[in-house]
């Protein structure tokens, strides 16, 4: 079995694959890797493959997984076979999470793809029909925007939950902040989707992932594919391509 881990700035998502089947997932706060749900279940994992944008936790996570499963632990890096040609200025510095999402989407649709990932940051990346990873844009995520407004403006409240409870034209401060951030994020997706399609092709498939996607997508005008575990699928794909794993 293959264990994959998507280590983000806020959350880490673990997935266990038996061949092509995703049989279990666990989400935890990044840095808190001794996950009760993982340690209570035993899987005959023979390899772990990790995408991380938080280098400071990598060595501790590696040692933990080696101890837990007695398996090989590998990280996604610029030497891995992603199935894409990375056309950024510094391919070795391109975010592993961005590459995972684009690789999974391009493998699935076999045409131009645009991927939005709604996490600590909201990102959008694109690959063309020839599998060239063209680049990306980075925008403040929903929670990041709420936190920044609270810190920067003395009279704006802290908002941490019940994101859906607001009016478009807010009649109080909380509702107004929620409307601005959440509907603003939806407008970002709609606007960037339109502009990116002009760059990569009007037939481009658009996929949205990330923990806050279900909050934002209802306010989008466009219709986009939602895949909660797109990055885990990308990790499985890249691991299989790189290490010639038997599915």
Residues belonging to the active site: 97
Name the CA dihedral angle for 25, 247, 87, 75, rounded to a multiple of 10 degrees. 60
Calpha distance 140→146 (Å, rounded): 10
Mapped to the 3 state alphabet, what secondary structure does the chain carry? CEEEEEECCCEEEEEEEECCEEEEEEEEECCCCCCHHHHCCCCCCCEEEEEECCHHHHHHHHHHHHHHHCCEEEECCCCCCCCCEECCCCHHHCCHHHHHHHHHHHHHHCCCEEEEEECCEEEEEEECCCCEEEEEEEEECHHHHHHHHHHHCCCCCCCCCCCCCCCCCCCCHHHHHHHHHHHHHHHHHHHHHHHHHHHHCCCCEEEEECCCHHHHHHHCCCCCEECCCHHHHHHHHHHHHHHCCCC
**Contact criterion met (CB below 8 Å) for 124 and 136:** yes
């Amino acid at each position: 079995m293959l264990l994959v881990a998507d280590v983000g700035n806020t959350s880490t998502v673990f997935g266990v694959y038996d061949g092509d089947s995703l049989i279990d997932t666990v989400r935890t706060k990044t840095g808190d890797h001794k996950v009760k749900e993982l340690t209570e279940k035993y899987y005959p994992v023979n390899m772990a493959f990790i995408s991380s944008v938080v280098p400071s936790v990598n060595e501790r996570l590696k040692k933990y997984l080696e101890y837990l499963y007695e398996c090989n632990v590998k990280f996604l890096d610029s030497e891995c076979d992603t199935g894409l040609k990375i056309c950024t200025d510094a391919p070795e510095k391109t975010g592993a999470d961005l590459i995972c999402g684009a690789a999974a989407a391009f493998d699935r649709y076999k045409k131009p793809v645009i991927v939005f990932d709604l996490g600590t940051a909201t990102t959008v990346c694109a690959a063309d029909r020839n599998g060239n990873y063209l680049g990306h844009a980075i925008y403040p995520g929903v929670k990041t925007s709420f936190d920044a407004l609270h810190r920067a403006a003395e009279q704006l409240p802290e908002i941490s939950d019940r994101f859906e409870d607001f009016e478009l034209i807010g009649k109080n401060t909380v509702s107004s902040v929620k409307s601005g951030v959440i509907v603003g994020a939806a407008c970002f997706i709609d606007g960037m989707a339109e502009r990116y399609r002009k760059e990569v092709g009007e037939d481009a498939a658009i996929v949205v992932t990330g923990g806050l996607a279900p909050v934002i997508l209802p306010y989008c005008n466009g219709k986009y594919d939602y895949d909660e575990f797109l990055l885990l699928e990308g990790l499985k794909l890249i691991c299989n391509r790189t290490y010639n794993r038997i599915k």
